[in-house]
Chain A
Amino acid sequence: MELFINQVLAGIATGAIYACMALAIVMIFQAIDHLNFAQGEMAMFSTFIAWQLMQWGVPYWWAFLLTLAISFVAGIVIERLLFKPLAKAPILTNVAGFIALYAIINSVAGLIWDFTIKQFPSPFGSSPFLGSQLISTHQAGMIGVTIALLIALFFFFRFTRIGLAMRAAATLPESARLVGINTSWMIALGWGMASAIGAIAGILIAPVVFLEPNMMLGILLYGFAAAVLGGLTSPLGAVIGGFLVGVFENLVGTYIPGVGNELKLPIALALIVIVLVVKPTGLMGHTVVKRV
């Protein structure tokens, strides 16, 4: 029983990573109805910016804030320059665009910072948390930041004018335009926010998985799994999905023999396929009815 509880705790800790990533994925899905395959690479690049700033001697929290600001602006710029002209294009074209962005960012990061792995500092330290061997202070901090982020997003969407406008633009673009909402800029804002949330995820993950250009490949897949499980339309669902996926991954690894580290990615694949087939809306998503 103690093993079980410990594994669940450890699962929640890794789940926080996936929850953060899933949150960024859901943000952008809400805004543009597409999955951004370059999301992980964008987060990776942001993390490298933070690392570079710290190398130049900027203190941790200043580097953190600066990176968020840079990522936010970069997200908006990418949307304005590259994806706004594709808004009416078929899905295939959009996916091709995301793939292109993925390839560019990955390659450029490798070119600037090369492919050797780098240490990334944690503001929370890495001593055991409250005497537990399985959860470190960094992981506890990660869970805390994820939950704080979720609450902040909830308040933003629920109680601010601009949050309401973003929700309106995402659900009924036509009607939103009629009441005077600039839907095109709401999409850009969605990109910016997703990019900033991705940056937070990257900075939190980097002390755990180490910093290198390919660090996000597996995590993005798990983030997708979490987002799909929680329902692609709900931020709360994404976070819950993230924690569930983390716990699930740990329990499967502990109790089913032969499933070690080497099956991590196939588990995510199986999870995505099963959820999409059994319950495509996820746990908290809502059904989208198509009119013929």
Chain B
Amino acid sequence: MSTVQESVPAAAVPTVNATARKSSTLGRTTSLIVLAVMLIMPLFVRNFIIFQVTMVLIYGIAVLALNILTGGSGQFSLGQSAFFAIGAYAAAILIEHGNVNYALTLPIAGVICFIFGFLFGFPALRLSGIYLALATYALAVAMPQLLKLGVIEHWTGGVQGLVVTKPDAPFGLPISQDMWLYYFTLAVTLAIYIASTNLLKSRSGRAMMAIRDNEIAASAMGVDISLYKTLAFGISAGITGVAGALGAIAVQFVAPDSYTFTLAIALFLGMVVGGVGWLPGSFAGAAFIVFVPNIAEGISKGLSGAFFGVLLFIVIYLVPHGARQVAILAESLFNKMKKP
């Protein structure tokens, strides 16, 4: 049964449809306006909304991480929920068992996830496209069961999970816990966002994109394929881990069943909706996955899955580049209106 079969040249069907025409960031003015809005927003809304926007930022970081992996290096992962879970548990265990300061848990969670991601990146090296999706899918499905393991139950709390104490605002600042956490998350998000854009603009970022566009050509130009692919996996996992840690602190609770395959689907969906390879889109995608289920649940309980699915199809068919395409359209419309 070992017939050799020819297939279409690899270059004809790229794994990812990311356009490189426009830069992967927003313009300076737009960025500053968005930042200003984000800074003053909490002063005018209720605590619950502040919490939700915090969640948008946290998921935004996780989607951004996936975007670096997919938009940057062309690999994709359905297993981001697993790294999110590892980050969340790392933070929860450090805070509750080790009495570590919550802010310190973020870099630790990041490093732990980076190592996990880097190691998982090795088998992933030999897999491309659909096989990689399969392996990461298996990782996402298996993760909740791994977390429930009896051996580590003392640390993880088993099925019950762990309760995390919410941090107070430091230096006696007269703001609520929610608001403090919001500003804290915003600061972390900004740092990660700036670091990520710089990463993609750097030599390493260009090497990753070269791999994405044509692996063979990239290796011919001297790019160390295995190094950059595993590195991309590690970085993506690390950032996801930071998001997971933040998520654990914000929700004040970790349990195995919060990190199922559904979360992986949501993050993947966030990336597709936001536009693959467009970093600001990650946050548009995150807003989508935080707010849309609420609306869908409002219409009918249990309908959010179907709603997600239908919307995903609509995005695939009508705006395959997601929020980025909408942004470009809006920009060209705006310019047209300015001219006459």
What 1/0 flags go to A257-292 for Cβ under 8 Å of B?
Answer: 010001111101100110011001000111111111
Report the nearest A residue to B140, measured CB to CB.
A269
A287 near B141 with CB under 8 A, answer no
B134 near A224 with CB under 8 A, answer yes
Known pairs A96-B269, A265-B138 / 5 extra A-B pairs, C-beta < 8 Å? A34-B130, A86-B316, A89-B320, A92-B276, A273-B138
Q: Can you list 20 A-B contacts with CB-CB less than 8 angstroms, sorted by A residue number?
A: A34-B130, A89-B320, A92-B16, A92-B70, A92-B272, A96-B268, A96-B312, A99-B269, A100-B312, A100-B313, A103-B309, A104-B306, A224-B137, A262-B148, A269-B138, A269-B141, A273-B123, A276-B123, A288-B5, A291-B7
A90 near B14 with CB under 8 A, answer yes
Report how far A258 CA is from B17 CA in the complex, Å: 45
CB distance from A253 to the nearest CB of B (A): 14
Chain A residues, CB < 8 A from B4: 286-287, 289
Most buried by A among B76, B139, B269, B306: B306
Report how far A232 CA is from B216 CA in the complex, Å: 25
Majority secondary structure of chain B interface residues (helix, strand, loop or mixed): helix
A108 near B306 with CB under 8 A, answer yes
Most buried by A among B3, B268, B309: B309
| Residues of chain B from 281 to 340 with CB closer than 8 A to chain A in the complex | 300, 302-310, 312-313, 316-317, 320
Chain A residues, CB < 8 A from B320: 89, 93
A103 near B312 with CB under 8 A, answer yes
B265 near A99 with CB under 8 A, answer yes
B15 near A107 with CB under 8 A, answer no
CB of A120 within 8 Å of the partner chain: no
CB of B10 within 8 Å of the partner chain: yes
Report how far A88 CA is from B150 CA in the complex, Å: 47
Chain A residues, CB < 8 A from B272: 92, 96
B303 near A107 with CB under 8 A, answer yes
Report the nearest A residue to B137, measured CB to CB.
A37
CB of B35 within 8 Å of the partner chain: no
B268 near A97 with CB under 8 A, answer no
Report how far A284 CA is from B135 CA in the complex, Å: 20
Residue from A93, A97, A108, A286 in contact with B2 in the complex, judged by beta carbons closer than 8 Å: A286
CB of B43 within 8 Å of the partner chain: no
A103 near B135 with CB under 8 A, answer no
CB distance from A270 to the nearest CB of B (A): 8
CB of B174 within 8 Å of the partner chain: no
CB of A121 within 8 Å of the partner chain: no
CB of B261 within 8 Å of the partner chain: yes
CB of A59 within 8 Å of the partner chain: no
A228 near B6 with CB under 8 A, answer no
Q: Which residues of A contact B (CB under 8 A)?
A: 33-35, 37, 82, 85-86, 88-93, 95-97, 99-104, 106-108, 110-111, 171-172, 217-218, 221, 224-225, 228, 234, 258, 262-266, 268-269, 272-273, 276-277, 280, 284-292
Report how far A228 CA is from B133 CA in the complex, Å: 13
CB of B222 within 8 Å of the partner chain: no
Residue from B17, B76, B127, B137 in contact with A276 in the complex, judged by beta carbons closer than 8 Å: B127
Residue from B5, B304, B312 in contact with A99 in the complex, judged by beta carbons closer than 8 Å: B312
| Residues of chain B from 186 to 235 with CB closer than 8 A to chain A in the complex | 216
Report how far A33 CA is from B129 CA in the complex, Å: 11
Chain B residues, CB < 8 A from A96: 268-269, 272, 312, 316
Residue from B2, B76, B139 in contact with A95 in the complex, judged by beta carbons closer than 8 Å: B76
Given A92-B15, A286-B5, A35 contacting B142 (CB threshold 8 A) = no
Given A91-B130, A218-B141, A276-B131, A263 contacting B149 (CB threshold 8 A) = yes
Given A89-B17, A92-B76, A106 contacting B305 (CB threshold 8 A) = yes
Given A264-B145, A284-B1, A107 contacting B309 (CB threshold 8 A) = yes
B5 near A272 with CB under 8 A, answer no
CB of B13 within 8 Å of the partner chain: yes
A292 near B10 with CB under 8 A, answer yes
CB of B146 within 8 Å of the partner chain: yes
Report how far A218 CA is from B261 CA in the complex, Å: 11
Residue from A91, A103, A262, A269 in contact with B305 in the complex, judged by beta carbons closer than 8 Å: A103
CB distance from A32 to the nearest CB of B (A): 10
CB distance from A177 to the nearest CB of B (A): 14
CB of B151 within 8 Å of the partner chain: yes
CB of B78 within 8 Å of the partner chain: yes
Most buried by B among A97, A107, A284: A107
Report the nearest A residue to B128, measured CB to CB.
A91
Given A102-B309, A110-B302, A221-B141, A276 contacting B10 (CB threshold 8 A) = no
What 1/0 flags go to B56-72 for Cβ under 8 Å of A?
Answer: 00000000000000100
Chain B residues, CB < 8 A from A103: 265, 305-306, 308-309, 312
